[in-house]
């Protein structure tokens, strides 16, 4: 990357927007008007789902270790993940950014490189938004639109007694990856000549810096003709998400410690940091994997899927959800995100 | 209002969201799922339009004179105005806020009071969003969704030679109102015992603090069976908006100084502040009135409308748009918003 720095005010009022608009590719036939009017227009098919998320510098991301193009990618991915969690297909995004004069044109171009890369990955169209000044720091607010036929939508509320609780991928990696990044930041702060030692942590650092929305699983479920009875994405830690399904579906869950999916690197690094790996799975956030329930009749269709894990099942107990430990102890699940009030989705 | 102050962290992670969700009323039958899932779901009728706008403290608003409930109302109104400018009916909004620990629960409740009042005024449903911490200040990002049949949508691009250029309401008031507020802030800063003298400026201060989206005009045009050939809302000043219509429609406009609508209070106060009233109309922002073109055949239907003003017409000149002054001079229109790069819509 070059070290050129162009001040944003050299571009004129609409110069930045023009530059951003030029880099946009429209892929969805449902996009009838993209950037350039008072609003985008969309010709919907079926039900429209819509979700929005704001990321604030100093709270949700730290540019001292987060490359800004990864931030752009991640900001799109986490919104696409919300659309995936409705069992819908993402189609459009709108991006608002507020930025202080600390940011150069080159930084914003790198941010939009990441945004455009995610648009390509998830086949969504960037159709609007605004860029504003900010008194300090960077704020990114992304709204994602998706579509699904009404009968395919998966809410949090449909889990029934006996349904199998499934989780994709592996859990806890993004949280443990964050611990690695924070440690290397401290090391660098105390001795700027030290090179960060990230190579051996590549997978978990990647899960933190550049998570993927599990649209692959959504497409596979559609191919298998499976509609989850309930679904949510795992953004705040497994325990918190199970409690959301419990609250909305009105039933408890039993999960098993020995069924919880964890990568070996996550496990080993958690131990290195004196963290309990199971606590990282239950309360660490930002995995953006999917948690969903399927009827027992659908189990045969997915039982050999390499990336879907059957971690428990739904009870009719309205009281609580719990974890059965390897020693057969029952532990009641509690939500305790690590970041108090750092983010609450409506 | 009581002076009670409840810290946000007393509420617990989901307490704030619960409080907000309890105050929400769902009015639109197109809202099939509101707050409480990974995304809202909407059953659309016709084409869907969607627009999003971010307001940053210290850039777009100043809480030293902007009551926080007015800020909530205005944040919704300016987004509804974008939907109006597509000739569509607003149906849902999503609200993201980022707030520092300077803000108490009572302040956020007042913000949502304003948001809910605007939802009631414009009959839109608050269906989602998130609340986050912010390292400093308040950021509000609102996304508005609307609907219209495809044949009713008004883009910026449809103006044709001979079309009549119309503006609603009066212009320049919000900008001159802002000058009054800024002066009173200075007076108060130099002598906190001085009471602000806003009574005689009530109309223009109100236009700045609590603008309305002109949905009334949108409904009247529908009743009159008029579909504007092009439309935009006046957020950056009349000149800038005319140039947008020019760029997208590929034709110039001629407007007449003596046809430009200005309220007497706006005019007199501009003079008091040594500002040229016409410059305030052309380059002052935040009026949120509508600017649109209609075919000459539709003129008879609206010629007696008290709040629609016929300020000029479309040429086929692709070169430029100009103002004809009272002295019959021709002045080429230039966009020069007062706030350089403070906000650029895509």
A341: left (phi over 0), alpha (psi -120 to 50) or beta: left
Residue A125 shares a structural domain with residue A242: no
- Given an 8 Å threshold on Cβ–Cβ distance, is A50 in contact with B40? yes
Classify residue A3 as exposed, middle or buried by CB count within 10 Å of its CB (0-12, 13-18, 19+).
Answer: exposed
Residue A45 shares a structural domain with residue A189: no
Sign of CA dihedral A272, A277, A283, A284: positive
> CB of B5 within 8 A of CB of B102?
no
What is the Cα–Cα distance from B252 to B130, expressed in whole angstroms? 43
SS3 A179: helix
- Tell me: ipTM over 0.85: yes
What is the Cα–Cα distance from B79 to B98, expressed in whole angstroms? 18
> CB of B233 within 8 A of CB of B84?
yes
What is the Cα–Cα distance from A335 to A233, expressed in whole angstroms? 15
Domain-embedded: residue B290: yes
Residue B172 shares a structural domain with residue B311: yes
| A131-164 confidence digits (pLDDT tens) | 889 999 999 999 999 999 999 999 999 999 999 9
Residue B116 shares a structural domain with residue B184: no
pTM of the model: 0.94
Residue A137 shares a structural domain with residue A179: no
Mutate to test the interface with A, among B37, B91, B93 (most CBs of A within 10 A): B37
Question: How open is the CA angle B291-B261-B144, to the nearest 5 degrees?
Answer: 35
> CB of A325 within 8 A of CB of A257?
yes
Residue A89 shares a structural domain with residue A176: no
Sign of CA dihedral A207, A210, A214, A216: negative
> CB of B215 within 8 A of CB of B90?
yes
| Final residue in a domain of this structure, among A119, A152, A185 | A152
Minimum-distance CB partner of A130 among B13, B130, B345: B345
* CATH assignment of the domain containing A75: 3.30.1330.10
Domain-embedded: residue B49: yes
Residue A172 shares a structural domain with residue A275: yes
Cβ neighbour number for residue B121 with a 10 Å cutoff: 15
Residue B178 shares a structural domain with residue B326: yes
First to last CA, chain B: 39
Residue A193 shares a structural domain with residue A299: yes
- How far does A327 lie from chain B, in Å, by closest CA? 31
Q: Along the 346 residues of chain A, how does pLDDT read in single tens digits?
A: 457 888 877 776 567 778 888 889 999 999 999 999 999 999 999 999 999 999 999 999 999 999 999 999 999 999 999 999 999 999 999 999 999 989 998 999 999 999 999 999 999 999 999 988 999 999 999 999 999 999 999 999 999 999 999 999 999 999 999 999 999 998 888 888 877 778 899 999 999 999 999 999 999 999 999 999 999 999 999 999 999 999 999 999 999 999 999 999 999 999 999 999 999 999 999 999 999 999 999 999 999 999 999 999 999 877 789 999 999 999 999 877 544 345 667 6
Domain-embedded: residue A62: yes
Minimum-distance CB partner of B341 among A13, A51, A56: A13
SS3 A289: strand
Q: Contacts of residue A99 in chain B, CB cutoff 8 Å?
A: none
Domain-embedded: residue B109: yes
Token readout for A314 is 């739904």
Domain-embedded: residue A281: yes
Q: Which domain, by its residues, includes A143? A: 8-152
Domain-embedded: residue A112: yes
Domain-embedded: residue A25: yes
Sign of CA dihedral A126, A127, A133, A137: negative
Number of domains in chain B: 2
- Given an 8 Å threshold on Cβ–Cβ distance, is B38 in contact with A345? yes
Q: Give the strand pairing for A322-324 and A253-256.
A: parallel
| Final residue in a domain of this structure, among A83, A118, A152 | A152
Minimum-distance CB partner of A132 among B43, B59, B144: B59
Residue B278 shares a structural domain with residue B177: yes
| Final residue in a domain of this structure, among A95, A129, A152 | A152
Residue A168 shares a structural domain with residue A317: yes
Q: Contacts of residue A143 in chain B, CB cutoff 8 Å?
A: 50, 52, 94, 143
* CATH assignment of the domain containing A271: 3.90.650.10
Q: Along the 346 residues of chain B, how does pLDDT read in single tens digits?
A: 457 888 877 776 567 778 888 889 999 999 999 999 999 999 999 999 999 999 999 999 999 999 999 999 999 999 999 999 999 999 999 999 999 989 998 999 999 999 999 999 999 999 999 988 999 999 999 999 999 999 999 999 999 999 999 999 999 999 999 999 999 998 888 888 877 778 899 999 999 999 999 999 999 999 999 999 999 999 999 999 999 999 999 999 999 999 999 999 999 999 999 999 999 999 999 999 999 999 999 999 999 999 999 999 999 877 789 999 999 999 999 877 544 345 667 6
Residue A141 shares a structural domain with residue A221: no
Domain-embedded: residue B1: no
Residue of B nearest to A42 (CA): B48
DSSP class of residue B163 equals: P
Minimum-distance CB partner of B47 among A42, A131, A248: A42
């Amino acid at each position: 990357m070059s070290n050129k720095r162009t001040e944003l005010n050299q571009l004129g009022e609409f110069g930045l927007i023009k530059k951003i608009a030029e880099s946009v590719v429209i892929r969805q036939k449902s996009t009838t008007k993209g950037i350039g009017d008072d609003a985008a227009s969309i010709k919907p098919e079926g039900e429209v789902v819509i979700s929005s998320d704001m990321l604030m510098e100093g709270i949700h991301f730290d540019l001292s270790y987060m490359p800004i193009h990864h931030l752009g990618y991640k900001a799109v991915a986490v919104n696409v993940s919300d659309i995936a969690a409705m069992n819908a297909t993402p189609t459009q995004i709108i991006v608002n950014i507020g930025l202080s004069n600390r940011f150069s044109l080159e930084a914003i171009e790198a941010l939009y490189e990441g945004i455009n890369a995610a648009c390509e990955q998830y086949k969504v169209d960037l159709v609007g938004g605004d860029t504003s000044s900010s008194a300090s720091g960077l704020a990114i607010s992304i709204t994602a639109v998706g579509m699904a036929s009404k009968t395919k939508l998966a809410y949090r509320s449909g889990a029934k007694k006996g349904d199998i609780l499934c989780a994709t991928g592996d859990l806890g990696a993004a949280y443990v990856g964050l611990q690695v990044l924070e440690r290397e930041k401290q090391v660098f702060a105390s001795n700027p000549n030290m090179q960060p030692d990230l190579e051996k942590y590549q997978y978990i650092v990647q899960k933190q810096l550049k998570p993927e929305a599990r649209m692959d699983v959504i497409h596979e479920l559609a191919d298998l003709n499976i509609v989850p009875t309930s679904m949510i994405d795992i953004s705040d830690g497994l325990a918190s998400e199970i409690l959301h399904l419990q609250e909305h579906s009105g039933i408890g869950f039993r999960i098993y410690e020995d069924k919880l999916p964890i990568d070996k690197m996550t496990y080993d690094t958690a131990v290195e940091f004196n963290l309990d790996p199971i606590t990282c799975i239950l309360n660490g956030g930002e995995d953006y994997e999917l948690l969903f329930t399927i009827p027992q009749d659908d189990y045969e269709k997915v039982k050999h899927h390499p990336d879907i894990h059957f971690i428990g099942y739904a009870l009719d107990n309205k009281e609580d959800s719990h974890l059965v430990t390897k020693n057969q102890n029952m532990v009641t699940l509690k939500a305790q995100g690590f970041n108090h009030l750092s983010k609450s989705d409506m």
